[in-house]
């Protein structure tokens, strides 16, 4: 059971082989527990036919024992099997019986296991609100004892529950520990979740910071700068299957082929040593990949969220799009590798991400305007200008919002701020459109 909970299928298989097949001389409880183990092991492998066979045998021997504890154990296993088979009604009936028995023997632990199953079943039915309500109540029950067993055998199922809990901010530290101890991974890396317990986190928007196992890695020696430059180039070029020659052209443009290759190999070795995780960066057949399963990168997360915003807008799921847009805006800490001398390899991603940020600020601001929530629109546009003070369109939207609120003095102040900023930074005047808006306000004041 411990091997299964740790997501170690190889160890579990070896231990089951070592146990051997049950003999006819086994006592009912021993036979019951053997088949209970086989149920869990088969569920882990997603062999539903075998899981169903052993679940029925476990219940058969359980009836011979007359032990209520065993009944709870086996009934819950059967409920999980039925659910996996798509037999929702039967699974719900078995789960109801499990909860009843758990409360009958006054076992908070088994009540917890049953409620976790109930949360999973609700999630798979698409009842997300119900799932989250159950998780809030259930995860709080085990927080103090740091109990990390859930009797949800399929790692993918447990990972989905953990993902939902972290999205909603439910018992975050406890859930993070659960993920780490059980070595859980999702089908697709949940890049939108900064609070997933990533082994490595890399911040590039507005700053550069490298965090391993929750602690910042400090860079004190000049010799570490080249490995970090390699990491930055790798991220800027997409991080997946990046050709070695692209990296060499960015970091050693003057070096010949052999010299550049030697420098690349040494620098990659030092980078791996610096982050202490060989699995995070793979080099095969002249291509380098920073694996998203091990590394969370803020710029990739930002672009992933803005991509989801676009799809939700197309699907007409406006409320979801609003929530995702707010998350993306909060995540954007500033330009890609802000403060560093601009290099040719960073221009494309820096401009692309900046445009996405401003587009999302503009969309969300328009949404608040259409909802006549002017204060929210003002906050949104000001947030955009905090990051990019040269975005003239945002000044215009601010001025219009202040007009709507009949706060003309503040509207004029925004115009003057816009004029001063553009003149100081770019040596230009506001556009004719912005000047026309300013003149209109002056005319209205006469």
Give yes or no: residues 88 and 150 share one domain. yes
CB count in 10 Å sphere of residue 220:
6
Number of folded domains that form the chain: 3
Same structural domain for residues 293 and 355? no
> What was the pLDDT predicted at 143?
63
Same domain, 40 and 147: yes
- The residue assigned the tokens 């005047």 is 429
Question: What does 12-41 look like in DSSP terms, one character per residue?
Answer: HHHHHHHH-PPPTTS-HHHHHHHHHHHHHH
In a domain, 191, yes or no: no
CATH code of residue 287:
1.10.10.10
- For residues 113 and 73, give the distance between their C-alpha atoms in angstroms, rounded to a whole number: 10
Domain boundary residue, one of 182, 212, 237:
182
> Quick check: pTM over 0.85?
no
Specify whether 213 is located in the same domain as 287: yes
With respect to residue 33, please indicate whether it lies within any of the assigned structural domains: yes
CA dihedral (81, 82, 86, 91) in degrees, to 10, reads -130
**Element of type H or E holding 161:** helix 155-167
CATH number of the domain to which 161 belongs: 1.25.40.10
The torsion region of residue 209 among left (phi > 0), alpha (psi -120 to 50) and beta comes to beta
Last residue of one domain, picked from the residues 182, 213, 246:
182
Q: Which domain holds residue 40?
A: 2-182
Give φ, ψ of 205 to 5 degrees: -90, 110
Per-residue pLDDT at 222: 64
Whether residues 401 and 320 share a domain: the answer is: yes
Based on the domain organization, do 62 and 7 belong to the same domain?
A: yes
**Rounded distance, CA 91 to CA 55, Å?**
13
**What is the predicted pLDDT for the residue at 220?**
67
Among 155, 182, 209, give the residue marking a domain's end.
182
Residue 303 is assigned to a structural domain of this protein: no
Query: Does residue 341 lie in a domain region?
Result: yes
Do 35 and 169 lie in one domain? The reply is yes
**Is the same domain home to 23 and 58?**
yes
Per-position pLDDT tens, the chain of length 446: 888 888 888 898 889 888 877 777 778 888 888 899 999 989 988 899 999 999 999 988 888 877 888 888 899 999 999 999 999 999 999 999 999 998 998 888 888 899 999 999 999 999 999 999 999 998 887 765 666 778 888 888 899 999 999 999 999 998 998 898 888 888 888 988 999 999 899 999 999 999 988 888 887 666 578 899 999 999 999 999 999 999 999 999 888 878 999 999 999 998 888 887 777 899 999 999 998 888 899 999 999 999 999 899 899 899 999 999 999 999 998 999 998 888 999 999 999 999 999 999 999 999 999 999 999 999 999 999 988 888 899 999 999 999 999 999 999 999 999 999 999 999 999 999 999 998 988 887 66
Predicted confidence (pLDDT) per residue in 382-396, tens digit: 999 988 888 899 999
Whether residues 119 and 63 fall in one domain: yes
143 in a structural domain: yes
């Amino acid at each position: 059971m411990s091997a299964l909970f740790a997501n170690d299928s190889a160890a579990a298989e070896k231990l089951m082989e070592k146990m051997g097949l049950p003999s006819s001389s086994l006592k009912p409880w021993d036979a019951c527990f053997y088949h209970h183990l086989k149920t869990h092991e088969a569920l882990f492998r997603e062999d539903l036919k075998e899981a169903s066979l052993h679940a029925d045998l476990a219940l058969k021997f359980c009836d011979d024992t007359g032990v209520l504890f065993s009944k709870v154990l086996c009934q819950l296993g059967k409920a999980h099997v039925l659910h996996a088979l798509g037999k929702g009604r039967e699974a719900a009936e078995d789960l109801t019986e499990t909860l009843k028995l758990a409360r009958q023997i006054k076992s908070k632990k088994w009540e917890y296991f049953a409620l976790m199953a109930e949360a999973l079943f609700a999630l798979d039915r698409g009842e997300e609100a119900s799932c989250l309500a159950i998780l809030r109540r259930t995860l709080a029950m085990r927080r103090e004892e740091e109990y990390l067993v859930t009797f949800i055998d399929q790692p993918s199922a447990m990972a989905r529950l953990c993902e939902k809990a972290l999205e909603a901010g439910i018992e975050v530290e406890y859930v993070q520990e659960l993920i780490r101890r059980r070595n859980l991974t999702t089908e697709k890396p949940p890049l939108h979740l900064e609070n997933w317990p990533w082994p490595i986190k890399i911040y590039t928007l507005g700053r550069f910071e490298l965090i391993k196992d929750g602690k910042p890695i400090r860079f004190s020696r000049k010799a570490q700068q080249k490995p970090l430059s390699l990491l930055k180039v790798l991220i800027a070029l997409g991080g997946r299957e990046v050709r070695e020659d692209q990296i060499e052209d960015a970091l050693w443009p003057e070096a010949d082929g052999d010299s550049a290759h030697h420098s690349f190999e040494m620098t990659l070795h030092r980078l791996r040593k610096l982050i202490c995780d060989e699995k995070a960066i793979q080099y095969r057949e002249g291509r380098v990949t920073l694996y998203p399963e091990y590394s969370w990168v803020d710029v990739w997360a930002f672009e992933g969220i803005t991509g989801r915003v676009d799809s939700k807008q197309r699907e007409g799921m406006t409320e979801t799009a609003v929530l995702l847009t707010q998350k993306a805006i909060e995540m954007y800490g500033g330009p890609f590798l802000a403060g560093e001398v601009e290099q040719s390899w960073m221009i494309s991603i820096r401009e692309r991400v900046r445009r996405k940020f401003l587009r999302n600020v503009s969309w969300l601001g328009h949404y608040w305007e259409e909802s006549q929530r002017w204060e929210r629109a003002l906050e949104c546009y000001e947030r955009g200008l905090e990051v990019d003070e040269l975005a003239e369109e945002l000044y215009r939207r601010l001025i219009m919002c202040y007009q709507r609120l009949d706060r003309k003095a503040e509207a004029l102040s925004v115009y003057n701020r816009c004029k001063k900023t553009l003149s100081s930074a770019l040596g230009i005047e506001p556009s004719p459109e912005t000047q026309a808006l300013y003149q209109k306000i002056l005319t209205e004041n006469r």
